[in-house]
Amino acid sequence: MKAITILGSTGSIGTQTLDIVTQNPDKFRVIGLAAGRNVEMLAQQVRQFSPEIVAINDESKFTELKEAIADLRPQPILLAGQDGVIEVARYGDSEAVVTGIVGCAGLLPTIAAIEARKDIALANKETLIAAGPVVNPLIEEHGVKLLPADSEHSAIFQCLQGVPKEGLRRIILTASGGAFRDWPIEKLSNVKVADAIKHPNWSMGRKITVDSATMMNKGLEVIEAHYLFGLDYDNIDIVIHPQSIIHSLIELQDTSVLAQLGWPDMRLPLLYALSWPERIYTDWKQLDLVKAGSLTFKEPDNLKYPCIQLAYAAGRIGGSMPAALNAANEQAVALFLEEKIPFLDIPKLIEYVCEKHKSDYQKNPTLDDILATDKWARKEAVAGSLIVANSLKNLLVNIEEKTENITEKKTEFEEYTEIKSENEKLGFNDFYQKGLKEYEQQNYQLALAEFNHAIEMDKGHSDAYIYRGDVKEKLEDYQGAIDDYNQAIKLDATHPKAYYRRGNVLRKVGDNWGAIADYNQAIRLNPNYTAAKRRSYVHVDTGATEKFMQE
């Protein structure tokens, strides 16, 4: 029998985990429970599952909880506040901790559990999104297992069983499309809170349901997949699958594709995270493909869902930027749920905060850096909520704009639709050439968009990655540029330009020896390449004067 602890026991993840325990009393035993502020439900759970230790995060509710279970014998250890939740996370003989606390609030308890050598059933994606550079080394240091307990990453994990590490080529995350997948884009300015918290397929909490409506949840899952499975962002894709039957897919090196299917039910990934590598029999509804009917797929609309590209951008920058993105999103969603900002301001506010964070972004953050970034970003999001109305004017359609001759003029949405229709007729080379033209004219944002289109159509052209890397360098997205040069080299390791350009960026970020190595390789591939001069400059930077004089 496995002893488990549940953090966030009164939330959606917690209650479904306890349902699993109820159905499998011979398999699981509850050691600890921690909840936010729902005293009534927590007291009922304590009575039913008899945990040894219990914490309520809201300290003002502690006395009420104590009185609600005063007649119980034996009494569990009762704690309150974040410190109490952390104590529950690290307590006693628990073998696995289910992290169901919503948002970055789950980070410190999860780290405490890892340091206490508890395996983690990770349902709190923000732990890795905000602090992947800190959490992953801790997982390795303490020798614990981190098992994904959300549907998409569990699906990937299940598909990977038996696949050698080097066999994975691409991850395809499926998305339902959220509450507004069938809404026309011009209707989004009228979204109410009640609209955004109605998910068509899943039963989830308010915050994650809004994230699904903006599709920020999928953007965050891209970052989480990067840290869980080690793939570059260019090899992690998103596809809208309205039926939510295929929970995600993987593509292997030989182009075989594996998928995990099932009815939408969060208990399945939770059960697998707790029982892995075993499979436990359940009497849950079995999948009937005939009844499921047609399974359909489509690309996400980046105009309708700008949060996706914001997440990719933050992930590629890395370091502390995903922490800023996550905190800004949490605060923006909270403001929306409090009806303090409109729905369309959520991505605007996130972009505003991320742009401001570029000035003090940390490439290799410590835990203290992550926590400081989280605190700063939340404060900045509140302060910036009144001044972000136009921050995404090139991405969002302002359908309320009035014009005197509206019948004679095209709206932005109509223009976008026509451009999109024209784009669908174009091929890789069309977008590639347009990207080159915009780059030559120093229209770097437009060039980036064209190269993105080209690469979406054909991921096998190294030159497209090189030029997109050049664009990102101009936009000071140095990590994104390095990632593109890496991909170009992966596609064609004999291309001197890729090494040369990567060397330039490495030099800019202070990795002089890495730059020298790249310049050397460029020269090996083409002895006449101008990298020799660059190499000499870098030798001076590193103090290698004798080598410089030889060259």
SS3 readout for 186-249: HHHHHCCHHHHCCCCCCCCCHHHHHHHHHCHHHHHHHHHHHHHHCCCHHHEEEEECCCCCEEEE
Q: What are phi and psi of 260, to 5 degrees?
A: -115, 130
Task: Flag whether pLDDT at 314 surpasses 90.
Answer: yes
Instruction: Tell me the Cα Rg of the chain.
Output: 25
Q: From 148, 174, 189, give the residue that closes a domain.
A: 148
**How much is the average pLDDT of 174-178?**
92
Question: Cα(351)–Cα(102) distance, rounded to whole angstroms?
Answer: 22
Where helices occur in 230-366 by DSSP H, the ranges are 267-275, 289-292, 306-317, 321-337, 345-357
Q: What is the mean pLDDT of the chain?
A: 87
| Cα 434 to Cα 180: distance, rounded to the nearest angstrom | 32
C-alpha torsion sign, points 351, 356, 358, 363: negative
pLDDT for 551: 44
**Are residues 172 and 270 both part of a single domain?**
yes
- 237 near 219, Cβ under 8 Å? no
Same domain, 68 and 87: yes
Same-domain status, 327 and 291:
no
Residue 420 domain-assigned (yes or no): no
Lowest mean pLDDT among 122-136, 250-264, 282-296, 511-525: 511-525
At residue 405, the pLDDT reads 43
In a domain, 153, yes or no: no
Q: Which helix (H) or strand (E) holds 509?
A: none
- Cite the DSSP H helix spans in 385-530: 412-424, 428-440, 444-457, 462-474, 478-491, 496-508, 512-525
> Do residues 144 and 46 both lie within one domain?
yes
List pLDDT tens digits, range 435-485: 899 888 888 888 898 898 889 888 888 999 999 999 999 988 888 899 999
**Does residue 118 share a domain with residue 188?**
no
**What's the mean pLDDT in 259-285?**
96
Could you tell me if residue 548 is inside a domain? no
419 belongs to a structural domain: no
Residues 2 and 136 in one domain: yes
Let me know whether 258 and 181 are in one domain.
yes
Q: What is the pLDDT of residues 408-435, one digit of tens each?
A: 444 444 444 444 445 445 688 888 898 8
Arithmetic mean of pLDDT, 116-140? 94
Q: Count structural domains, the chain.
A: 4
Residues 1 and 142 in one domain: yes
Question: Would you say residue 421 lies in a domain?
Answer: no
Same domain, 76 and 45: yes
User: Order of strands, edge to edge, in the sheet holding 77-80?
Assistant: 77-80, 53-56, 28-35, 2-7, 96-99, 119-122, 146-148
546 within domain boundaries: no
CATH of the domain at 449: 1.25.40.10
pLDDT digits (tens, 9 = 90+) for 27-51: 999 999 999 999 999 999 999 999 9
- CA nearest neighbour of 378 among 335, 314, 315, 319: 335
Domain that holds residue 355: 318-407
* Residues across the chain: 551
Q: Return the CATH number at 378.
A: 1.10.1740.10
pLDDT value at residue 535: 55
Same domain, 36 and 179: no
Does residue 154 form part of some domain? no
Predicted confidence at residue 531, as pLDDT, reads 54
Say whether both 185 and 302 belong to one domain: yes
Residue type, 42: L
Which among 119, 148, 177 is the end of a domain?
A: 148
Same-domain check for residues 345 and 300 = no
- Domain assignment of residue 361, yes or no: yes
Residue that terminates a domain, selected from 261, 286, 307: 307
CATH number assigned to the domain comprising residue 112: 3.40.50.720
